[in-house]
Each structure stands twice: as structure tokens, then as C-alpha cells.
Amino acid sequence: MTTSVKNEFSVSVLLVIVWLAVVGLIYLFVLSMAKDGFGKNMERVNQQVEAGLQARIKPVMTLEDITAGSSASANTAPVMVITSASASKSADQLYAGACLACHDTGAAGAPKLGDSAAWQSRAAMGVNALVATVVSGKGAMPPNGGSAYSEMELRSVVEYMLNQAGL
Ligand code: HEC
């Protein structure tokens, strides 16, 4: 081999090595970029999953909420008690909530509120029987008068209706 050929050979070997190095670096660079982006995405997804989970397992109310709520409202309103909302309603409110629509208008032959003639014969059956009739429904009146009232509540409304008829 002549010296010039040897030189030419080592130059091309060097070029190949440099080329490989550059390609390798670019490859590593792209790889690290991709990995970075992927990592960030995963982080975001994890955060979302975590946030969703926290929201779902969050207690509806904590002891702090309850104590804070009661002390905050202590001067203004009583702490809400956990009972059915209608339990504290008076008979006339219950009446207005579910019975008024028919019994104020006399719709479908409903005995009207305060119509003593219409209630006279019914009152004779006694409150118990009337409550039982309301519970099971009668004629155009659906069971429970179409309400979700308890029998106790229905009784108070029936008594209210009889009172209004002067009975
Ligand atoms: C959809 C209309 C309607 C609603 C709502 C309704 N009623 Fe009536 N109610 C009637 C009709 C109609 C009658 C008469 C039924 C008959 O005599 O055939 C009646 C009859 C009654 C009677 C007399 C029952 C008897 O033996 O004759 C009572 C008591 C009564 N209703 C109570 C209530 C109460 C309490 C509510 C509310 C919780 C209520 N009603 C809601 C239509 C209604």
C-alpha cells in the first residue's frame, strides 16, 4: 500500500466514525426528547386520574364541615337535622304541597276544602277510615293522594281538611 492510499483509507474510516457519532447523537437527542414528552404526558394523566379519584372518594361531609357549619349558623338558624324534609311541615303546608290541586278546585269530584256539606258524610266514616281511603286511593284520587307522605302526615292533613269544613 502506498502512503496516499493508506491516508485516503484512514480519512474515510474517520469520516464514517464521525458520521456514525453524529447520527448516534441525533438519535439519542430525539429519543430523550420523546421520552421527556411521554413522561410529561404520563405525569398529566396521573394527575388527572389522581384528581378524579380524590373527587370521587372525597367525603360528602367532614367533621370539620359539620362543626364549622353549626358554629357558623348557630346564631341564625338551627343546625339542620337529618329527617325527611316534610316532617317539619304543618298540615296546611302538606295540604298545599300535594292535595290542594284537586281539593281546592273540586277537580274530578274531589270534596272541596271547607265545603262542609261535601265533608259531612265523609267525616261520619271517621278519621281512620278516611286516612285508609287516602292511602289506598279512591276514584280519581291516586294512592296517598299522589303524595309521598307518611300515614301520620296524611292523617294530619285529613284532620286539617275536616277542621276546615268545620267538622
Ligand atoms: C288527583 C286529584 C286528587 C289529589 C291530588 C288528592 N285528592 Fe283526595 N280526593 C280526590 C277525589 C276525586 C276524591 C273523591 C273520591 C270519590 O269520592 O270517589 C277525593 C277524596 C278524598 C277524601 C275523602 C275520601 C272518602 O272516603 O270519600 C279525602 C280524605 C282526601 N281525598 C284526602 C286527600 C289528601 C290528604 C290529599 C293529599 C295528600 C289528596 N286527597 C289529594 C282527588 C284528589
pLDDT at residue number 83: 47
pLDDT of residue 116 exceeding 80, the answer is yes
| 109 C-alpha to ligand 1 centroid (Å) | 9
C-alpha triplet 96, 97, 100: angle, nearest 5°:
45
| 57 C-alpha to ligand 1 centroid (Å) | 46
pLDDT at residue number 97: 95
Average pLDDT over the chain, rounded to an integer: 84
pLDDT at residue number 146: 96
Residues 69-99 pLDDT 10s: 655 444 455 555 444 554 578 999 999 999 9
Higher-scoring residue by pLDDT: 70, 152:
152
Residues 122-143 pLDDT 10s: 999 999 999 999 999 999 999 9
Contacts 24+ apart (CB under 8 A), 101-107: 102/140, 102/141, 102/145, 103/161, 107/140
**What is the CB < 6 Å shell around ligand 1?**
98-99, 101-103, 107-111, 122, 130, 133-134, 138-141, 145-147, 149, 154, 157-158, 161
| 159 C-alpha to ligand 1 centroid (Å) | 13
* % of the chain exceeding 90 in pLDDT: 50
